[in-house]
Amino acid sequence: MTRVCLVGTEDANLRYELLSRETARNALATYDLREPFENTLTLETVSLGAAVSLLNDLNWYLVRFTETAFVLEPSISETEWLSRDLAAAVRDDEVEPAETDRFLQVYGIEESDEEFESPPRLVEPMLVTRTGDTIPEYDLRDVDDTLVVRVTQAEFGA
């Protein structure tokens, strides 16, 4: 299964914004929505194409209420997500799956205070280039873990 993760903007409650609008609510009605990180929604689709199509269907809302969207396609990587643009490029055969792993955004993951039982949160991404089998350590702040997102060369700014 291909997973989609939507990351809300700081000034929007993503779940509320999407589910309070009929068109978005209808588009998401068949999916099991989860919140693995603060102010995010994830869901599973049947394929990369279905994930990109869903993101396209939700575009009006994504532009207004999300910071970014990621797609996790197991046939490309079990652990590294693709940016929305890179997922679309792979789906459209503009980029080969084997050529997606050079440009990366690495997000820090901060665990929440256990007292409040809220999900961990994603913090500022760091841009890195993979030159071998490993990637540089996340060094923008102390974090509990990281989330790696493969991005297009244009998104990387190279």
Residue 6 to residue 35: CA distance in whole angstroms: 9
Q: Going by CATH, does the domain composed of 2-74 fall within 3.40.50?
A: no
Question: Does residue 50 have a pLDDT over 80?
Answer: yes
35 CB-contact burial (10 Å; exposed 0-12 / middle 13-18 / buried 19+): middle
**pLDDT confidence bin for 150, thresholds 50/70/90:** very high
The answer to whether 46 and 1 are in contact (CB under 8 A) is yes
pTM for this prediction? 0.93
Chain-centroid distance of CA 4 in Å reads 6
Question: Does residue 131 have a pLDDT over 90?
Answer: no
Span 68-92, mean pLDDT? 97
- State the chain's mean pLDDT as an integer: 94
